[in-house]
Amino acid sequence: MFLFLFLASSALISALLVIASKEVVHSVIALATCFISIAALFIMLSAEFVAIVQILVYVGAVVVVILFGIMLTKREIMESEKR
């Protein structure tokens, strides 16, 4: 019971951090945390295949693509447009 409450609260808190964070990298890290905690909830439900697919597809692919997109954009251009 304690493990379920911990995983559910970490999923909710990290989902709120995705929305509230001003830095994109912090949002991506919180998104990966949310996906991993949801995958752990799937494992608790004895749905191991869904958990593995969740980790491989979302954490392994989507988050990495977002991070590469962030790293390949030039930070100076984005900061000059804010001003």
Domain definitions of the chain by residue range = 2-82
pLDDT for res 70: 81
> What is the band of 39 on the pLDDT scale with cuts at 50, 70, 90?
very high
> What is the band of 14 on the pLDDT scale with cuts at 50, 70, 90?
very high
Judge: domain 2-82, CATH 2.40.128.630.
Answer: no
Q: Which residue has the higher pLDDT, 5 or 25?
A: 5
pLDDT at residue 77 is higher than 70: no
Report DSSP state, residue 46: T
Distance between start and end Cα atoms, the chain: 50
37, 51 contact by CB (below 8 A): no
Q: What is the separation of C-alpha 23 from the centre of its chain, rounded to a whole number of angstroms?
A: 13
pTM above 0.85, yes or no: no
pLDDT at residue 75 is higher than 70: no
